[in-house]
Amino acid sequence: MKGSDPLPPARNSEYYRTTWVLGLFGLIALSLYLPWLTGCAGLSSGGRNSGGQLTVSGTLSAAQDGVAYSAVLSVNGGKGPYTFSVTTGSLPQGLALGQSSGTISGTPTKSGSYTFTVQATDSTGLTGSNSFQITVSSGTSVSVTVTPGTATVASSQTVQFTAIVSNTSNTAVTWSASSGTISSSGMYTAPTVSSNTNATVTATSNADPTKSGTASLTITPLTPPALTISTTSLPGATAGTAYSDTMQAIGGTAPYQWTIYSGTLPTSFSLQSSGLLSGTTSQTGQFSITIEASDSSSPPQSATKAFTLTVNPANNTPLIATSFFGADFNNASDWPPTDGLNQAATLGGIRLWDDGVKWADINTSNGVYDFTGLDTFLGQAAANNMDVLYTFGDTPQFAAITTPPGMLAMIALGSRTASGGEITITRGSRGAPGNSAISVP
């Protein structure tokens, strides 16, 4: 049948079928290839967010050694979930990066500055990265400790100090002292002092000059020899006569201070702090006192010593009483004596040397004595409150024969004592019998 062909030729049917199938397969291939191509484009743009599809960001503050730290990184772009990793550098010691959270946390254990790169990867494999830096400061400042912390050192002597510096590798210090000197190694030399003196030693850190440590010292003077009172005794004093004596001491540290430790001085006597003992007193007798001396050392030394101060009576009594001067009577046959005008004489004493009181009158022979005349005069003198001066003279004949010239012969006069030659006997007080005293001119 001629005319139009209502059905396409068989070859046309085959052509269209083939074309349709190829087009379908092309669409399928393109749909599978497009994600892979997109992924390759993402990989090639990774690194420091230069042209990549993922952006990693975060604000990382400074950290402190020994103090807990936390910071979170964020991702822009891509499809979660994301994973995080450190690709270059390192986190500070003690910190870690959470792989799924992007959190940097922990407690730093070492100070310093740390630079690192964090990469983020999304669920499709896209990546992005960024560089960060965390600075960790020292959690504890430099400290300096000086040992020993306190010390006592004698004048001009030495003591070794040591500085302990912490929280820094630079442990060097500079030494100084408020008094005395100290070497670069910490050897301190004390100054010369006369009393207890305080001083301070300081060690300053070279790593941080605002940090230092100190030690306190007490400097004592060299111990002086023991204080001793060297005065051995006090010279005697006389009533009514000015007295002066200075106490002496050795050892210790001068000047000395003197005081009466115990006992009482005679009236009007005093001991000055300089050690001068002086005064004029009317008292007599022995006065027991203890004197104390204190020196100027620190602490002060003291010493005591016992003394006896003897104050003797004034020696104003003459060897012969004044009552025997001013009148002379050679005849005492009449009693009481007269003044030569037949007027009774008021006398303070009489001198017996004649008129029945001579040695020969009393000692009439060897071993024979007659005290009648002597006792009469002594009795009269006592009745009139007179002193008696008796001159014992005129050697008897029997004694002169047996006694060589110039030699004394001792003769017993009962309770009295006499010797050859001229002997003075003062019998009692105011002529009272008894207690005879004999002196040989």
Under a CB-based contact definition with an 8 Å cutoff, are residues 106 and 132 in contact?
A: no
**pLDDT-derived band at 424, boundaries 50, 70, 90:** very low
Rounded Cα distance, 384 and 346, in Å = 9
Rounded Cα distance, 291 and 252, in Å = 16
Query: So what's the pLDDT on residue 401?
Result: 61
Domain with CATH 2.60.40.10 in the chain: 55-137, 143-220, 228-312
Instruction: Check residue 184 and report its DSSP letter.
Output: T
Rounded Cα distance, 116 and 282, in Å = 109
**pLDDT-derived band at 384, boundaries 50, 70, 90:** confident
Estimate the share of the chain in helix, then strand, then coil, as percent rounded to the nearest 5: 15, 40, 50
Beta strands at 387-392 and 349-352: parallel, antiparallel or unpaired: parallel
389 backbone dihedrals φ, ψ, rounded to 5°: -110, 115
Higher pLDDT, 43 or 355: 355
**Residue 324: which of 354, 295, 292, 348 has the closest Cα?**
348
Place of tokens 């743009």: 45
Range picked from 106-110, 134-138, 172-176, 407-411 for highest mean pLDDT: 172-176
**pLDDT-derived band at 390, boundaries 50, 70, 90:** confident
The dotted CATH code for 143-220 is: 2.60.40.10
DSSP of 94-150, one letter per residue? TEEE-TTT-EEEE---S-EEEEEEEEEE-TTS-EEEEEEEEEEE-SS--EEEEESSE
Beta-carbon contacts of residue 41 (< 8 Å; ≥ 6 apart): none
Q: Which of 85-89, 125-129, 379-383 comes out lowest in average pLDDT? A: 379-383
Query: So what's the pLDDT on residue 284?
Result: 93
Left, alpha or beta for 28 (phi > 0: left; psi -120 to 50: alpha)? alpha
Average pLDDT value over all residues in the chain: 78
Beta-carbon contacts of residue 288 (< 8 Å; ≥ 6 apart): 263, 306, 307, 308
Size of the chain in residues: 441
The dotted CATH code for 228-312 is: 2.60.40.10
Rounded Cα distance, 436 and 362, in Å = 16
Rounded Cα distance, 117 and 101, in Å = 16
Q: Residue 336 pLDDT more than 70? A: no
Q: Residue 291 pLDDT more than 70? A: yes
**pLDDT-derived band at 350, boundaries 50, 70, 90:** confident
Q: Which amino acid is at 322?
A: T
Under a CB-based contact definition with an 8 Å cutoff, are residues 293 and 303 in contact?
A: yes
Question: Which fold, 55-137?
Answer: Immunoglobulin-like (2.60.40)
Q: Which of 204-213, 308-317, 417-426 comes out lowest in average pLDDT? A: 417-426
Query: So what's the pLDDT on residue 413?
Result: 34
Q: Please compute the mean of the pLDDT values over residues 264-285 and round it to a whole number.
A: 96
Beta-carbon contacts of residue 305 (< 8 Å; ≥ 6 apart): 229, 231, 290, 291
Rounded Cα distance, 408 and 385, in Å = 33
Place of tokens 């209502």: 6
Query: So what's the pLDDT on residue 103?
Result: 96
Q: Please tell me whether residue 399 adopts helix, strand or coil conformation.
A: helix
Under a CB-based contact definition with an 8 Å cutoff, are residues 201 and 217 in contact?
A: yes
**Residue 92: which of 75, 104, 76 has the closest Cα?**
104
**Residue 333: which of 369, 373, 293 has the closest Cα?**
373
Q: Which of 79-93, 203-217, 259-273, 400-414 comes out lowest in average pLDDT? A: 400-414
Q: Please compute the mean of the pLDDT values over residues 362-386 and round it to a whole number.
A: 82
Greatest Cα pair distance, the chain, in angstroms, is 238
Reading the block at residue 53, the tokens are: 């599809």
Q: Residue 52 pLDDT more than 90? A: no
Instruction: Check residue 286 and report its DSSP letter.
Output: E
Tally the C-alpha atoms within 13 A of residue 196's C-alpha that lie toward its C-beta: 7
Q: Residue 16 pLDDT more than 60? A: no
pLDDT digits (tens, 9 = 90+) for 231-253: 999 999 999 999 999 999 999 98
DSSP of 338-365, one letter per residue? B-SSS-B---SEEEESSSS-SHHHH--B
Under a CB-based contact definition with an 8 Å cutoff, are residues 366 and 372 in contact?
A: no
Beta-carbon contacts of residue 317 (< 8 Å; ≥ 6 apart): none
Beta-carbon contacts of residue 407 (< 8 Å; ≥ 6 apart): 420
Query: So what's the pLDDT on residue 441?
Result: 35
pTM of the model: 0.32
Higher pLDDT, 420 or 319: 319
Range picked from 169-173, 252-256, 303-307, 352-356 for highest mean pLDDT: 303-307
Q: Residue 164 pLDDT more than 50? A: yes
